[in-house]
Amino acid sequence: MLAIENTRLNKNRPHQCEICRKQKLDSFGSKDFGHAGNDHFSGDRTFHDYGVLVPYMKCINCGFIFTNLFDYWEPSNFIKHIYNEEYRLADPPFILERPLHNAEIIHEIFNYTPHLRTIIDIGGGDGQLAHFLRDHGVDSYSYDPHFGEVDTFPSEKTFDVITSFEVIEHVPHNQQRKWMKQLVNFMHHDKISIAIISTQTTKSSYDINWWYICPRNGHISIHSQNSLAYLAAHYGLNTIQLPNSFILLYKAKWEKEINDYAVLKILKSSIDSKSCAVD
């Protein structure tokens, strides 16, 4: 367990929400950095306290919960303290269980919707989901900046399906818009593309003790349904909540195709029929 350098931490209070840009922030409470998602599933603490309290803020307008403590961190700091060799202890399903379960769900889309043939998985770790789909005849790619170059593809390439499972909560609050813009850039301009992401969304009854607020996992940006819809709408995307914390995103102009291809029906059926591990 590596000590965290206090000099690299941002102790200043944020001025505004980076999702809706309103200056309506309240303190949501603090948690020690050592709290991990696996604590909830194992019934015990996975890591000892680090002695570093992580303060979270909540936007009163859109419901977005975030910390700005790590605003000064470079990618190397996140790799050193979060996405290191001990990350598998914080989130055991990340290595194989979750990507394979999610791949089985997504595979149903390609089985029943021949118009959709290509996929990129954003934040896909070492590419297990893409590997599974590729082995089943799907033109699939994985992209994860924390894992270096997993698959190569032309920078201007766009895709029929974009997935990003349990990723958006890891994206710093001041990079959320950049992340969503990147997702949109992977979409086609002249034909249908859909995006499928997963993340737990907060509710008004939740407080700082909610298990999903786990700094050791890198959960530093927690959306409400409202804040996620706001972020997506800023880039021209509609959102539909699906079972098991899945969310469908698509450009409004493709709504007819979404219905014609029965994408929602296929997704809901596939999600309901398969258990899916979350972190």
Torsion sign, CA atoms 215, 41, 101, 248: negative
Name the average pLDDT for the chain: 93
Residue type, 47: F
- In terms of pLDDT, which residue wins out, 2 or 67? 67
Question: Highest-confidence range of 3-7, 139-143, 246-250, by mean pLDDT?
Answer: 246-250
d(CA 45, CA 65): 23
Q: Is the pLDDT of residue 84 over 80?
A: yes
Q: What is the mean pLDDT of residues 173-194?
A: 96
159 Cβ neighbours under 8 A, 6+ residues apart: 118, 119, 120, 141, 186, 187, 188, 193
Among the listed residues 40, 14, 15, 28, the one whose alpha carbon sits nearest the alpha carbon of residue 214:
40
Per-residue pLDDT tens over the stretch 159-172: 999 999 999 999 99
Q: Is the pLDDT of residue 88 over 90?
A: yes
Residue 131 CA to its chain's centroid (Å): 20
Predicted local confidence at residue 275, as pLDDT: 54
Q: What is the largest CA-CA distance in the chain?
A: 55
Predicted local confidence at residue 276, as pLDDT: 47
Residue 46: CB atoms within 10 A of its CB come to 21
Q: What is the mean pLDDT of residues 177-197?
A: 96
Per-residue pLDDT tens over the stretch 119-169: 999 998 889 999 999 999 999 999 887 776 677 787 889 999 999 999 999
Predicted local confidence at residue 149, as pLDDT: 62
Place of tokens 């398969």: 274
77 Cβ neighbours under 8 A, 6+ residues apart: 8, 70
d(CA 96, CA 128): 7
Pairing of strands 237-241, 246-251: antiparallel
